Amino acid sequence: MNDKITTLTDATFDEVVGSSEKPILVDFWAEWCGPCKMIAPILEDFAEEQRDRFVIGKLDVDVNVATATKYSVMSIPTLLLFKDGQVIARLVGAKPKGALLQEITTHL
């Protein structure tokens, strides 16, 4: 995984997301999820290309069930965009890079 992507856990989620100075896009994913693997390279690109606008975090829903449940993540990949610790956008499913970036930036 890209060193510019933050790995989140149930234990670190609230602190990392709540203290982020920039909006943080959290990818709720699992190892077995095909669409999750499809968007992973896009998120790695965003971590580099969009680092001035937002940061990327990833949370494995199989290991961190409490956080996934707290945010009602029923399908993966689910991307939640947080600003000041609050969810400002929810994107579900894999999308092409341009479409994904457009959806994210409309909320920044």
Let me know if 33 is a catalytic residue.
yes
Q: Which of 31, 84, 103 is nearest to 61 (CA)?
A: 31
Active-site annotation holder among 36, 55, 73, 76: 36
Let me know if 1 is a catalytic residue.
no
Which residues lie across from 6 on neighbouring strands?
57
Provide the b/e sequence for 59-86 (b: ≥16 CB within 10 Å): bbbeebeebbeebebeebbbbbbbbeee
Active-site annotation holder among 16, 33, 59, 94: 33
Residues annotated as catalytic are 33, 36
